Amino acid sequence: MTDTTELRQRQKQWVDNLHGDKPVEVNNVFWKLISKDSNLQSQTVDKYLEQWDGKTDNVTENRRLDSYNENTFSYYNLVTDFYEYGWGQSFHFCKFFIGDKFTDAIKRHEHVLAHRAGIQQGDLVLDVGCGVGGPAREITKFTNCHLIGINNNDYQIKRANMYTKKEGLDKQCHFVKGDFMNLEFPEATFDKVYAIEATVHAPNLKDCYSQIYKVLKPGGVFAVYEWVMTDKYDASNEEHRKIAYNIEIGDGIPKMFTKEVAVKALEDSGFEIIEQEDLANLDDPVPWYYPLTGDWKYIQNLNDYLTFFRTSYLGRKLTNTMIYGLETLKIIPKGSTRVTDALENAAVGLVEGGKQGLFTPMMLFVARKPLIQD
């Protein structure tokens, strides 16, 4: 048995045991937490947090980079239910315009990527790091393409396929296990490839982009919303490094790279960069991170009061207090509070990084695989 087969079997078994025997259709976050295996939940939290001891020296960082696969696997086993509860089925940020409803802005961000990638009816498209498939379903409906989503988290794949079947899209769109550091599709399979806020989990962007390059047809396009530290970021500045660290620990990221590293990685993989644009502007009338600040003045739709209460500072405090109470009463598994604490770190780091313009979750790159390779 190869190492990869063994790892996959172990991860599949872990997910089956961790999430208990509740049907995959259950949507209530508290019910999902109650039905988790307490022992395994606590072991998953330990496994994830043992990597995060506050250190950012080279040895510690290399350890995190080496264990990227198990680390993000554990992270998403812990946070997926919270993400769905607080954010919905698309696990990404978006640009807001005045008057925007949250769900409309999220979908528009997906349409923009599909448009910039030039996805056409009938194209075979790969979604790299597909989450529970919110963007994939939307892009399939928007373009009428055929789409495969890959993900290294078995729990998310189950939920992605469940939602897709429910929406009657399962003939056009499906989700499989895979590691974007080792894509197993034959060379030149896809017309287009996209990734939304996923490849930031890679331990090495060049190796990840090279895998994408390999599976794209010559002339094919790769479009990505990359998470990067901007040109303003200075790794030797303690405050900046602390912000990046909060983003790393709270979002399951082995190491945040700079925009410069991402550009070089695309070029070194053989791509020709057609467009590069940071869609997050500091002077945007409505900042991308506002759902996490709970700035009520930006809310322009009645439905969004509920969504943004959950994601706001106050709403998070309320959720975290409830989680703490339920864990103390042993109603939900041990370790759940440590998960909400890590998510709080994420929110703080993201907002601070966004406000200071040190970080962007929407560095858009559109890159082409040349028709003739060197």
Ligand X SMILES: CC(C)=CCC[C@@H](C)[C@H]1CC[C@H]2C3=C(CC[C@]12C)[C@@]1(C)CC[C@H](O)C[C@@H]1CC3
Q: Which residues bind ligand SAM (CB under 6 A)?
A: 69, 72, 76, 90-92, 129-131, 134-135, 150-153, 156, 178-181, 196-198, 201
> 128 - beta bridge partners?
150
- Structure tokens of 326? 């339920």
Q: How many residues does the chain have?
A: 374
Shortest distance, CB of residue 76 to ligand X, whole angstroms? 9
Residues 319-338 that bind ligand X (CB under 6 A): 319
Mapped onto helix, strand or coil, the DSSP state of residue 371 is: coil
User: Which residue number, 153 or 327, has a Cβ lying nearer to ligand SAM?
Assistant: 153
Whichever of 154 and 226 has its CB closer to ligand X, that residue is: 226
Does 197 sit near ligand X (CB under 6 A)? yes
31-39, 86-94, 138-146, 211-219 -> range binding ligand X (CB under 6 A): 86-94
Report if residue 343 touches ligand X, rule: CB under 6 A. yes
Closer CB to ligand X, 109 or 310, in the complex: 310
Considering only 228, 346, 358, 367, the residue that binds ligand X (CB under 6 A) is: 346
Give the integer Cα–Cα distance in Å for 182 and 121.
28
Give the DSSP H/E element, type plus range, for residue 171.
none
Element (H or E) spanning 86, and its range? Answer: helix 68-86
Residue 139 or 253: the one with the smaller Cβ distance to ligand X is 253
DSSP 332: S
> What does 86 interact with, of ligand SAM, ligand X, none (CB < 5 to 8 A by kind)?
ligand X
Q: How far is CA 72 from CA 52, 69, 121, 129, 334, in A?
A: 13, 6, 33, 11, 20
Q: Is 185 exposed, middle or buried (0-12, 13-18, 19+ CB in 10 A)?
A: middle
Residues that bind ligand X (CB under 6 A): 82-83, 85-87, 91-93, 197, 200, 227, 251, 310-311, 316, 319, 343, 346-347
